[in-house]
A and B are shown apart, each in its own frame.
Chain A
Amino acid sequence: MVVGAALCVISGLPALAGSRAARATPVLLVAGALAGLTGSAIGLVTGPTVFGLPWRVPGGAFLIRVDALSAFFAAPVFLLAGAGALYAQRYWPTTRMRSAYVRAFFGLLTGALALVMTAGNTIFFLAAWEVVAGASFFLIATEHEQAQTRSAGWIFLAASHVATLALFAIVAILHGLTRTWAFAPLPAGAAALPAGSAVLWLALVAFGIKAGLMPFHVWLPGAHAAAPSHVSAVLSGVVIKMGIYGLVRVLSLFDAVPATFGATLLLAGIGSSVLGVAFALAQHDLKRLLAYHSIENIGIIVTGLGIGVLAQARGEPLLALLGYAGALLHVWNHSLFKSLLFFSAGAAIHSVHTREIDRMGGLAKRMPWTAAAFATGAVAIAGLPPLNGFVSEWLLYYAGFTSITSSAPGGPALLVLLVVPALALTGALALACFVKAFGAVFLGSPRTSAAENAREAPRSMLLAMVPLVLGCAAIGLLPATLAPILGPAVHGAAPGIEPAGKIVALLRPIQTAAAVLAAIAAAAALMLFASARRAVSAVTWDCAYGAPTSRMQYTGSSLARGFLGFFAWAMRPIVHAPRTWTLFPSAAKFETHVPDTALDWVLLPAMRAGQRLLRLARYLQRGRMQLYLLYLGATLVALLAWSAR
């Protein structure tokens, strides 16, 4: 594990040295990824292992502690580091300088991420956390000549610093409670103390910002859209999981967490998932659409954690197990299918040179392998059987159904019940959104000449998608074999519950059903393909109109328009529609745009108001040395007076 992280960190250095040495970068990264994955596998099977190096920072220790939880979260980091290295080979054929820049920071990012997930010391955790934030900022700002990219980078940096501020407070309070800088279990009943509850709520803010939970998600869509695609995949696949990891780690330190905190997590998760997918439906930019889906999936994960915490507080072990297992499995699943989607979307964007969904179309004929990869990711993220997204969502649904059948004193946990309709709505909307994305980008006929001339992605990019597709299929078809991995991780997150056997018993029938479904559907499809081999080719039927053009196709925006109405209260779409009153209207233009409500309607106005307020402070700043000396003198005198009091 350590070797893997170290190899990732240094992998970018040869790229800085020169173009010939740059070839070593992917080799080092893939080697690091393999070493790290082996380390994670060992960490999941064996007990906690500790590795230390001397580090001369007061309170800090270069301490790496790999337990099941760390290994579980670190595994996708290494997988994506390796796949990203392969993908980036041909993705970035611009100037040498810039390619070296991306490679250097990509290696640093993935290496530091692995350290965040395995840090055994809070100061070391903070240091690695900041390295990740810095490296992410530079990667997001890769195309810094575009104003949009710069603003996305600055918003990310600002949000990241707010999170770090809260994190500093958490670390200080934890030290105050445990008298050690290591991640140590808090004394019994800590959650009831004011300091303990402060830790919990600060953790919700700090890790909520990092994870992109709904009210704190403002940085996420812009940053994911601006970064190069393999960086978006890592940002969405694992960097935001840093927040989930932190939340789970802090929760695991408490012996009991109050039910109100669980309920808050649950409601925040539900809000985040429903609104995240609603915003995603309204996007015109393929990468922004995927970014909003990250918010949705983080919402699903946090919902699962909320179920776990709530059920533990009420003393329902089966429900807690379902919540934690669903949440943690969804962490892996989201890493797999979201990075797959970013990789394949990036390949499409790379060959059409636009991110606008409605300027693509018909790419399945031109890039069949990329289309198949995107379709796999789409089915998985929509939570459909027989792929992996279904398994984790099934566990959460099962929790909702279990809560209504259980006859615990005080009746079923009503909040957990809410999960079922919320997930149903989220799932149906996600399905619609990915039919829109897949249909408008890959199906139909090309909408522009750029889409018409698209070429299949280079082989190295396709190769990077292979492990991800296999991962999606493996978890979907063989979920029961996953239980030995999931069991220790759940145990690490919530030491109170004993999972392993129950998960296997639950998942086995799902596994059989998925296999049967896949087998029969494949057989039926093959028979149909065979029967259609002698088919006559003709033009699409357009009500007897013989020459349909690609501009007559239904667009992705039109497909989503029906949904926009339901969520107009939250999304506030800006519509510029022409008014056609005459019989022969002249040429007109129709435009819709959905700004991010939290950013454009709440946060930015608040910031502007704050700026106006702070303008008063500018009065002090005159730019004259004498005045500053006077301030210094006055402060000294004031301090002296205060200490002599």
Chain B
Amino acid sequence: MTAGLHILLVLLAAPLLPGVITKTKARVAGRSGPPLLQPYYDMAKLLRKGTVLSSTTTWVFLLAPAVAVVVPVLASLFLPLAGTRSPIAFSGDAILFVYLFALSRFCTTAAALDTGSAFEGMGAARELTFAALAEPALFFGLLALARISRSLSLSSLLAVGGAGWRHASAALVLIVASWFIVLLAENSRVPFDDPNTHLELTMIHEVMVLDHSGPAFGLILYGSALKLFVFSTLIAAVLLPRTGIPLTDAAATLGAVLLLGVVIGLVESGMARLRLVRVPQLLVTASLIAGFAVVLVLR
């Protein structure tokens, strides 16, 4: 029952998040913007369209969208979303959570190289470089949380709750800050990448999928919405206290995630993309912040 609610919520609510971000940005800019449900309409349209495949591509090219959707759904099952326990929980699942996204990165970057295009290769190179710097930040945060909660399973590791916030509030603030930077980087949001730009030379994620079309592209859009949703849930789970009632907790998480979407929208409205050479510095800063959280909890 709880697991069903969990999966349903993830599958249905995920595309709402990019809608909220776009709407926020439009409102800040004084426009009314596309409807909140626009991502759903886009995906429905793409699923009905035909596919154009580059003649250079192989099976790798079509494997990537499939993996990009499966991975976030599977990863979400480790997170506590509705209720205190996540649908799948075992000791050490935190490591699998991070590595699932690595698998998806392998597939998407390989698919980008599969097209033999100069632009897509460039996007793949950036994605790989930035992810290598973001991964330690994610792990440092997990280490600190493992120390606070004395647990290695995301289900209880993230649910530090009120007690955690009373004893280790400084470390938790640092973790949330660091993970927010990681979220922006991993999901190609503004200081790292501009999802709205249409200049191939400057993009990361969007440029890797230039050649995908039809249902495959629909799956990629859906996959990236799911990934954003999962990373937002990760942060929301650290922030929120638990009641233990599945429906209440699910509603609270959804509310927090959408609020996070508004924050992302505000960040995107307030600042421009960083120069590419500055990006590694910000990511190393995120790692240092999370590393400092580890030092704090080790006292």
- Give the interface of A toward B (CB within 8 A): 361-362, 364-365, 368, 371, 375, 378-379, 382-385, 390, 394, 397-398, 400-402, 404-405, 407, 411-412, 414, 417, 420-421, 424-425, 427-429, 431-432, 434-435, 438-440, 443-445, 506, 509-510, 513, 516-517, 520-521, 524-525, 527-529, 531-532, 534-543, 548, 550, 552-555, 558-563, 566
Contact = CB atoms under 8 A, between A and B. Distances in A.
A509 B140 CA distance: 23
Nearest to B151: A405
18 contacts: A394-B92, A404-B294, A405-B152, A428-B131, A431-B106, A432-B128, A438-B110, A444-B121, A510-B92, A524-B67, A525-B66, A531-B215, A532-B51, A537-B53, A537-B54, A543-B119, A552-B117, A554-B124
A535 B53 contact: yes
Interface residues of B, number: 80
Chain B residues touching A, majority SS: helix
Contacts of A365: 58
A540 B102 contact: no
Contacts of B129: 432, 562-563
Given A435-B106, A443-B58, A532 B135 contact: no
A563 B133 CA distance: 10
B164 interface: no
Interface in B76-106: 88, 90-96, 98-100, 102-103, 105-106
B294 A427 contact: no
A412 B144 CA distance: 12
A524 B106 contact: no
A520 to B, nearest CB: 5
Contact of A444 (B53, B94, B114, B138): B114
Contacts of B215: 528, 531-532
Contacts of B132: 425, 428-429, 431-432, 563
A542 B119 contact: yes
B155 to A, nearest CB: 12
Chain A residues touching B, majority SS: helix
Nearest to B111: A443
Contact of A535 (B51, B74, B115): B51
B125 interface: yes
Nearest to A363: B58
B280 interface: yes
Contacts of B138: 424
Nearest to A379: B106
Contact of A439 (B88, B114, B146, B147): B114
Interface string B149-188: 0111000000000000000000000000000000000000
B100 A517 contact: yes
B197 interface: no
B117 A536 contact: no
Nearest to A411: B298
A401 B105 contact: no
A445 B152 CA distance: 45
B30 to A, nearest CB: 32
B117, B136, B211 pick with most chain A CB within 10 angstroms:
B117
Nearest to B216: A528
A540 B55 CA distance: 7
Nearest to A429: B132
Nearest to A395: B92
A362 B66 contact: no
Contacts of B139: 420-421, 424
A521 B63 CA distance: 8
Contact of A550 (B73, B95, B116): B116
B190 interface: no
Contacts of A427: 99, 102, 135
Given A364-B60, A540-B57, 11 more contacts: A412-B147, A432-B129, A439-B109, A440-B113, A443-B116, A510-B92, A517-B74, A520-B74, A535-B51, A536-B52, A540-B55
B74 A439 contact: no
B113 A532 contact: no
Contacts of B114: 364, 439, 443-444
A510 B96 contact: yes
Given A520-B74, A524-B70, A509 B90 contact: yes
A401 B92 contact: yes
A306 B92 CA distance: 21
A532 B60 contact: no
A397 B110 CA distance: 26
B62 interface: yes
B33 to A, nearest CB: 28
B56 interface: yes
B66, B146, B151 pick with most chain A CB within 10 angstroms:
B66
